[in-house]
Amino acid sequence: MNAVITGATKGIGRAIADRLAREGYNLVICSRNQDDLNAAKNALLSINPSIEVVTAVVDVSKKAEVLAFGELCMASLDKIDVLINNAGIFIPGAIAEEEEGALESMMETNLYSAYHLTRKLLPDMIAQKSGFIINMASIASFMAYPNGGSYSISKFALRGFSKVLREELKEHNIKVTTIMPGATWSHSWAGMKDQLPASRLMQSQDIADTIWGILNLSASAVVEEVVLRPQLGDL
């Protein structure tokens, strides 16, 4: 089995890569930092030396780089079983106050990257009449909150993208799932480790385990959307 994961060197993306490596998936992953990719590849191969791990430095906000990454994915794998559009950025701020360009930056990274990569890989998935597309959205995809700003806009749009894909790909036997996590320990929360108890946020592994369960449903079942929140509620 083969999987493509964007933003796979840290946080949720890395936890997903670790889990799929343990389960024997060959992986093509990307990140903006070569050192992070090297470290991730070494760790993934230490988890399972029998798999193949292909890495690429990609700025997913750049369409040309996303399309080139898609070409690499198709050249590296005989088929793509799972595509996980995980890469994203969060820039807090109210719409009236956020920095100029915040909307464009988050739309390019959080939405357009998933759109362009999915479109690049879809013809082969349609031809093989199988596949699974997982889009990493957020609780910000269905609710507004203070300082959510353009981040919420981009995640609402990503959820809409997933809904359209789900309807279009039913007949092609390609499953589509939208994951909407609440606060999860990741690189974005690094500065809060000493200020919040570990129990206040979910673990990245929780998201990875959820995805693994979804991938193992029968062929006749699909989880269209899943919402995960910390047990004690949103921050």
Residues tagged active-site: 151
Do residues 145 and 152 lie in contact, with contact meaning Cβ atoms separated by under 8 Å?
A: yes
Starting at the edge strand that comes first in sequence, how are the strands of the sheet with 82-85 ordered?
Answer: 53-57, 26-31, 2-6, 82-85, 131-136, 174-181, 225-228
Distance CA(32)–CA(176), nearest Å, equals 26
Cα separation of 34 and 57, whole Å?
6
- How many CB atoms sit inside 10 A of residue 82's CB? 21
- Tell me what percent of the chain is helix, strand and coil, each rounded to the nearest 5: 50, 15, 35
Partner residues linked to 29 by β-bridges: 5, 55
Which residues, in sequence order, are CB contacts of 142 under 8 Å at separation 6+? 156, 159, 180, 227
Q: Are strands 174-181 and 131-136 parallel, antiparallel or unpaired?
A: parallel
